[in-house]
Each structure stands twice: as structure tokens, then as C-alpha cells.
Structure 1
Amino acid sequence: MAPSLPEPDAGPAPLPESQRRYLEHLRVERRLAQRTLILYEQALRRLCQLAEEAGVALERVGVAQVRRWVARLHGQDLSPRSLALMMSAWRSWYRWMGRQGLVELNPVDGLRAPRGAKPLPKALSVDDAVQLAAHRDEAADPVREACDAALVELLYSCGLRVSELVGLDVVPGASARGWLDLDAAEAHVLGKGSKQRLVPIGRAALEAVRAWLQCRGEWLAAGSTERALFIGPRGGRLGATQVRQRLSLRAQAAGSPTHVHPHMLRHSFASHVLQSSGDLRAVQDLLGHANISTTQVYTKLDFQHLAKVYDAAHPRARKR
């Protein structure tokens, strides 16, 4: 949902001709949605108000003034997301004004809105993750059950991205994006940026994959050369959307307390390994992160876990 911008304190006044023409350009030529047009108009009205308060013509606004205005609005608790939207509208209008020959300088170019706090990745608790991985539906089609059990085990055991999971082949080959070496208990994965990495496969995942391979052929047509590890009932490679749907349904059946998607199992894998080992570099390698700063977010999840343990266990922290 798009953020809403606060209305200027003064009542709505007619916009300058240049801004009315610009909004018409957005509506007719760029065909922006009505909601977006409303947000852009609000942003331009705010710009008019700030310029009027500062006693400066819109065409003569400078970089320093825009920087002060943004800092002031941020201090008034306007969210970074709303500020970014407002600055984008200003920047776009000044760029349009430049193309019309009405300004020489775009005072918003090169300026960025303050960064907002990044939300922490959502991970399952250890108990919930294990419960999901161990879930079995005895009444389900045995082939589908074996397939779903294997893909859940691999996502949680190896921390794979869903694109890496659906790219796995049964055997290695020149065109393979990834494959499993069950004897060595290793997954050969082609990750982001075409970077290859090796990920160990846990015992439970190995057993689940072997069980799936024993019945995978029942979904293959006679003479099929499909190399994908995970296939659907029609014998074709599973796609990411199908995996998400299957995982969501399986999580509901397993009684998971929240909506579960493939990346949540990757977050759970990283968080749980870090909780047990404390080895951030190892988790970085297992996830295939190019920069360790990307992996460091899981240290915050680890601290949250420790804080919950403290709150539950320490006599001076318990709520009465």
C-alpha cells in the first residue's frame, strides 16, 4: 500500500500553471494511476508551501534549501518512505521543468531520503520449523507427499532460495543449474550472480530426497528425458509459484502459527545455524552471500531469541 503524505497546513490553493501542466502530462502521457496522481499533487502542494514560507520562487529553490526542508519534515516524524515518495515527485517535476527550459538546476538531484529501519527477516522458531519438516500426511497421495516432504526438507536443511531449489537436476550436466550428490551429502547450487557453492545436506533431507526419487518416475511419461529433480504430476519441472503454494498448504496442515513461504525457511535455516554455532562466516558461506553485512541481520534475530529466553527464564525479567 502506497504511503500517504500529510496535507499542508494551509487549505488547498490553486497550483501554479507549471505544476498543473505537469500533472496533466502524468495523467495523459504517462498514464499514472489516480492514486499516484493524488500523491504527486500532495507532494507538489507541500513544495509550494515550503517555498512560500521561505520566500523563494519555486524556480529558484536550491539544493541547500531542499536539504533543510527534508531534514525538517523528517524531524516532524514523516516516515522515510513518505519522504522518498515526496522527493521523487519533486525531482520528477524539476526534471520536467528542465526539459521545458524553465529551470537550469534540479535541486533534488543527488539527494536521498533518510534511510528507514530495515525490517528483520521473519523466521520460524526451532520447534515450529522442526514440526513443519517432520509433518507427514498419511491420507495424501504418496507420490505428492514424498515430493512435498523432500522439498521442505531441502529448503530448511540447506537454506536454498526457491529459485535454487527448482533449478536442481537429478544428475549433473553441462546445462544443470544445480544437482545433489547424495553419496557425498552435498548440494551443488548455482546462486545469485551465477555463483556456485556447495551446501551440506542433513540426514533427514537425504532420507526424504531418496524416498522421493524412488517414486519420482510415477509422474514421468514413458521415454521422458526430464532432468528436473522436482516435477509435477504432469512430469514437468516445478516452478517457484507451485513450490510456494505447496509449502503454504503444507504449513497450514502442519499447524504452523504463521504463513510460511520458501524464503522464511531460508531465514529459519540461517538463524538456527547461527544460534547453535555462532559462526557468522560459516552462515555467510552456506547462504552464498557476497557481503557479510547481508548475513549480519541474522545476529539481530539471534539476539531476539536470546532476549526471549531471558524474559522467560530470568526471575527479574518475568512479567507478574
Structure 2
Amino acid sequence: MAQSSLADEDAALIERYLEHVRVEKRLAARTVTLYSLDLEKLATYAVQAAVPLKDVQSHHVRRWVAQMHGGGRSGRGIALILSGWRGFYVWLGREGRIASNPVQDIRAPRQPHPLPKALGVDEAVQLAEHHQVDDDPWLEARDAAMVELLYGCGLRVGELVTLDMAASREAERGGRGWIDLEAGEAQVRGKGGKRRAVPLGRAADVALRRWLELRIATPAGADADAARALFTGRYGTRLTSASVWQRLKRRSLLAGLATPVHPHMLRHSFASHLLQSSGDLRAVQELLGHANIATTQVYTRLDFQHLAKAYDAAHPRAKKSSP
């Protein structure tokens, strides 16, 4: 069959399908336009391979996916295109034009996960040691304690805001954690309700004791849960994750950091700096509460980045000499 007649037949099939999704499925005009563009790409590939759309096989689709990926298209973009193609072939099957869907088991290439952002050691210390002298002492003591727990203990923000001041049956039943200053540890309830004990460093211990001295001065009349909460807001309610984000962003900007800091960045910094110092991946896994060590291994990539930067900056053979 000549390429022109092949293209005409494919174009007619595509037009019928687009009419189907426009009229019968009542998809939005923008969605129909995107489907049209995706199917135009499919038709172009099919013409180049000299194969009618109804005769396309899985090996064709895999080759075209490889071509798109090699051309720089993202995994997410390819996944959206495959979704459009898959719907077209489902319709062809219902119309009795094909026996099997060639796109059914084809998946887009995986997107590489971006490395978590971590502060440098100097930046993390600068944030932790920052004191806003004109700020309310109550807020300053609370925020300093929060930073020490996020960076010094590697807590998630959700774990931080659910901490109570002490152990209780209510905390056990409510799936919350608590601070044990006598033992020098935080009892944390992580994902899946799993508990782990995280040691408190000297700086965290000092910051927490300072905060607890002022914590008693929170407004009366709070409910029972808020009365047990380690961190509260001005109105006596348990502090929310959103409030922690806002306060940490403010503190990082006032401390002169170039990038606004969010709570999980401090958790990443905790893990990265601890791994750089100790090299003990298993210990970092335990402290972070990761069920799978593969989750923790991302920090070995951060550690390598740190070493590579140090090498580039310091080693005489890191860069080629100019002629």
C-alpha cells in the first residue's frame, strides 16, 4: 500500500476516534486537541514504519518510546502520550479493528528522582544558632527548639507537631510521640505508627528546657490535647505543620540564608551531615525511621556530591590546566 493511501486511512480512523471522544465521551475541547496532537505523532511514526495504525505491534511502540526518550522528552510527557495512544487502541478494539492493544503493557521510562535539597553544615549551624533579638522571647524559644529537633534529630514536620511534653496513655492511644528529657531522647511516632527513639543532642536539650520554661505561660482554657502538646501557638492550640513551615521560612530569611528553608530540608541536612561524618548508613536508616534502607541510600548520592565538590575545589588534578 502506498504511503499516501496509508496515511489517508489512518487519518480517517483518527478523525472518527476524535469525533467519538468529542461527542460521545464529551471531553473538553482542550483535551480533544491534546489527543489530536498525540495521535498525529502516532500516525507520523506509523507512516515512517510503513505500517497501518491497526497493524501496529508492541515492538513498534517500544521503538517509538525509545525515540521520544532519546529526543529529550520526559518520562511524564511520554506517559501522557502513551495514555492517549492507549485510549485510541481501546476504541479500535471495541470497533473490532484489532485483536489486542499494542500499547497495553508499554510503560514510559522512569523519571530520575531529584536529589533532596540539603543545607551545607555552615548554613545549618547558622540557622540553628540564629537569634532574632527583637522577636518575642516566647516565639524565639519555641522556634529555636523546633529547629533543633528538625535538624538535630531529623524529625518529619508531622512527627514534630504531634509530640507531647511527656509520655501518657493518651499519647499512646493517639499515636503521638513525646519528649523524655531524663532519658535524653524523643519517642517518635513515624509513618505507619512505627515508634523509634531518637537521641537528643546537647543543643536540643538546652533549647527544649528553655522552651518548656516559657511553655507554661501559654493561654489557659486550651483543650486537653493542646494542653499536652509540646509546641503550641499563641492561642494555646497545638501547632500545625503549616505554621512550622511559615516560621522556619521566616527564620531562614532573617538568618541570611540564600534559600528559604522548609522542614524536610532540615531532615535531609541531618541525614546527609550524619552520613558524611559517620559513614554508617544503617544507623542513619534507624534514626530516620526508614523501613527500607534503599530509601536511605539516596543520601549516599548527596554525600558523593559533597565529596565531588570538595575534590573539584581542592585537588590540583581536578581540572585540566589551561595551555
Instruction: Give TM-score scaled by structure 1 length.
Output: 0.87
- Does the 8 Å contact 1:153/1:205 carry over to 2? yes
1:305 positional shift: 1.1
Moved more, 128-137 or 232-241: 232-241
Match in the other structure for 1:257: 258
Give every structure 1 segment of 4 or more consecutive aligned residues whose post-TM-superposition deviation is greater than 6 Å: none
Amino acid aligned to 1:110 = D
Identity of aligned residues (%): 56
Q: Is it true that 1:140 corresponds to 2:129 in the alignment?
A: no
Match in the other structure for 2:216: 217
Query: Any idea what the Cα deviations from partners look like across 1:55-100, whole Å, max 9, x if unmatched?
Result: 3333332222211211222223323232222112222333455566
Q: Distance in 1 between matches of 2:32 and 2:270?
A: 43
Amino acid aligned to 1:251 = S
Q: Is it true that 1:73 corresponds to 2:61 in the alignment?
A: no
SS of alignment partner, residue 199 of structure 1: strand
TM-aligned CA distance change 1:153 to 1:41, over 3 Å: farther
Query: Any idea what the Cα deviations from partners look like across 1:269-311, whole Å, max 9, x if unmatched?
Result: 0000000000011111111111111111111111111122222
TM-aligned CA distance change 1:84 to 1:139, over 3 Å: same
- Does the 8 Å contact 1:156/1:269 carry over to 2? yes
Q: Distance in 2 between matches of 1:84 and 1:108?
A: 11
SS of alignment partner, residue 189 of structure 1: strand
Amino acid aligned to 1:21 = E
Largest Rg, 1 or 2: 2
1:22 positional shift: 5.0
TM-aligned CA distance change 1:118 to 1:138, over 3 Å: same
Q: Is it true that 1:127 corresponds to 2:122 in the alignment?
A: yes
Moved more, 288-297 or 167-176: 167-176
Amino acid aligned to 1:41 = S
Query: Any idea what the Cα deviations from partners look like across 1:229-265, whole Å, max 9, x if unmatched?
Result: 1111111111111111111111000111212111110
- Does the 8 Å contact 1:169/1:228 carry over to 2? yes
Match in the other structure for 2:26: 28
Q: Distance in 2 between matches of 1:102 and 1:143?
A: 72
- Does the 8 Å contact 1:155/1:266 carry over to 2? yes
- Does the 8 Å contact 1:189/1:198 carry over to 2? yes
- Does the 8 Å contact 1:19/1:44 carry over to 2? no
SS of alignment partner, residue 28 of structure 1: coil
Amino acid aligned to 1:49 = T
Q: Distance in 2 between matches of 1:136 and 1:228?
A: 24
Match in the other structure for 2:106: 111
Match in the other structure for 1:302: 303
Q: Distance in 1 between matches of 2:101 and 2:46?
A: 15
1:119 positional shift: 1.4
Match in the other structure for 1:7: none
Q: Which runs of 5+ in 1 are unaligned?
A: 1-12
Residues matched between the structures, number: 305
TM-aligned CA distance change 1:24 to 1:312, over 3 Å: same
TM-aligned CA distance change 1:17 to 1:201, over 3 Å: same
Q: Which runs of 5+ in 2 are unaligned?
A: 1-10
List aligned pairs for 1:267-278, cutoff 5 A: 267-278=268-279
Two-structure CA RMSD over aligned residues (Å): 2.4
Moved more, 175-184 or 250-259: 175-184
List aligned pairs for 1:1-320, cutoff 5 A: 16-21=14-19, 23-24=21-22, 28-29=26-27, 34=30, 38-98=33-93, 103-172=98-167, 173=171, 174-222=173-221, 224-225=223-224, 226=226, 227-317=228-318
Instruction: Give TM-score scaled by structure 2 length.
Output: 0.86
1:106 positional shift: 2.3
- Does the 8 Å contact 1:171/1:180 carry over to 2? yes
TM-aligned CA distance change 1:258 to 1:21, over 3 Å: same
Match in the other structure for 2:6: none
